[in-house]
Chain A
Amino acid sequence: MKFLCRDCDTAMKFKDVTRPEQGSVTAVFECPDCFVEFAMFLNPWETQMLKSLDLQLGGTAEAAQPMQMVRSQLGTAKREPMPDTPDAQDANAAGTAEGGKCPFTSVIAGAFEEEEPKVEPAGPTWSAEALARLERIPSFVRPMAKMGIEGFAKDNGHAEITAEVMDAARGNFPSQF
């Protein structure tokens, strides 16, 4: 895609990109002549397509890490005994118990890492019944399912995740529960 400032008849230049929020990336472009800006929103599928191509809006100054797309995007990956840098080893040692994820995800995910909520109120709570159902999901897919259900609850204004919300959220993630 290319963008043109119609007033100046000048090609717009990339200026900035936000990290994804609820799956959507925002890219800002600016006219180099009149400095007018506009924002382009990528929907979650467009954002995901960019991730799958391992391309970064705004370019990338970082050298590619080995298998960075697979290692940062595979949701059912095994925990890595990983890399040789002290920082990464520390990150690995501090890894979460449930994650099963690569510690360098935080290093390479860059612009595609989900934006941390700014003044985000506490996320939706889980009812006991919903938690019990969550526990029945196989461990390797549970983090993805949990994230999908919580995202669905937030998007749809549910303060509490109940069995009914879980039913409604089916289709947002792959597992049966």
Chain B
Amino acid sequence: MKTYNELPADAGSDIIGQVTAQLNRLQKRLADVKHTVAIMSGKGGVGKSAITANLAAALALEGCAVGVVDADINGPSIAKMMGVRNAALHYSPAGVTPIVNALGIKVISMDLLLAEDEAPVLWNAHTQKDAFTWRATMEVGALREFIGDTEWGALDYLLLDLPPGTDKLPNVVELLPNLGGVLVVTIPSEVSQFIVKKSLAMAQHILNVPIIGVIENMAFHICQHCGEKEPLFSTDEPLWEETLGSIPFDAKLAYCSDKGMPYVREYPDTPASLALTAVAGKIQHFFKET
């Protein structure tokens, strides 16, 4: 009796062909995208999305063509932070036209597809019971379509705002084997470092993805009255030997994120804006060097 490996690869469904076609579509779509950058932390609540939105804005203000993929399928916040959440997507056989914000940044997010503010992501199924067996696959499929079916056109940078979790980057790398680099966002708390180091190890040692650098968000607070630096967490000693930038806490940044305004344009001279703009410059330098 013949064995598994002696039989033809497929009984007629051409599953490998279908998967290859999906990935080819994705590669073709990104042919005019110069650099893909994943923004990750592993830990939630460190400000990845706000950093992503403002780095995108800083790059756009420097004349770069920028796109942003909200890879947080279940907790999409990028559309709100970038001021496009009430826009309607337009579909054509060629692809989905991304929403373009006030700075010309192209945005795709699950938020743009959901029916109402409070609508969670729920997938059609005969039964939702034991949905854990397929839900994660749906989410990766959605991310593949967001990246591969959006008409990005020519971009200098495509930023991917990843959800928390050290398992998310491997999914992205499966889809984008030529990922240009990873930005790791953390805050100066030991709990955050504890998790973020796992993400870094995953990126560096398991996936061998280029690390652009670590961004320390909410690094300190500058007193509005006396200008003195105040620590926000247990220590203001740097926990990383070298960071790409330390972004001070500024309530105006949170306000701009809530209102969908680019903080780096609204308040360009604040310490946080200057730090974000400097990080954007270092990202450009990183890709010039590589």
Contact = CB atoms under 8 A, between A and B. Distances in A.
Contact of A76 (B93, B120, B146): B120
Interface in B127-169: 127-131, 133-135, 137-138, 141-142, 145-146, 149
21 contacts: A2-B8, A3-B11, A51-B134, A52-B137, A54-B141, A59-B17, A69-B142, A70-B145, A74-B121, A75-B123, A76-B121, A78-B113, A78-B115, A82-B91, A83-B91, A83-B92, A84-B92, A139-B115, A141-B119, A173-B127, A174-B128
Contacts of A11: 2, 7-8, 11
A133 to B, nearest CB: 18
A26 interface: no
Interface stretch (A12-20, A117-125, A156-164): A12-20
A44 interface: yes
Interface string A148-177: 100100000000000000000001111000
Contact of B18 (A22, A51, A60, A68): A60
Contact of B113 (A59, A74, A173): A74
Interface string A117-151: 00000000000000000000011110010001001
A59 B11 CA distance: 10
A36 interface: no
Interface of A: 1-4, 6, 9, 11-15, 20, 22-24, 29, 44-45, 47-49, 51-60, 63-84, 100, 114, 138-141, 144, 148, 151, 171-174
Contact of A66 (B95, B124, B133): B95
Nearest to B116: A140
Contact of B13 (A20, A52, A56): A56
Interface in B56-70: none
Interface stretch (B19-27, B205-213, B261-269): B19-27
Interface centre among A2, A3, A55, A65 (most CB of B within 10 A): A2
Contacts of B11: 1-3, 11-14, 29
A156 B4 CA distance: 39
A64 B114 contact: no
A49 B134 contact: yes
Interface in B91-122: 91-96, 110, 113-116, 118-122
A58 B13 contact: yes
B4 A2 contact: yes
B226 interface: no
Contacts of A48: 125-126, 131, 133-134
A66 B96 contact: yes
Contacts of A148: 127-128
Interface centre among A48, A53, A60, A78 (most CB of B within 10 A): A48
A80 B89 contact: yes
B138 A73 contact: yes
B242 interface: no
Given A11-B8, A56-B18, A76 B126 contact: no
Contacts of B119: 76, 138, 140-141
A12 B7 CA distance: 9
A149 B153 CA distance: 44
B14 interface: yes
Nearest to B21: A64
Nearest to B92: A84
B251 interface: no
Contacts of A47: 126
Contacts of B22: 54, 64
Given A12-B11, A138-B118, A151 B126 contact: yes
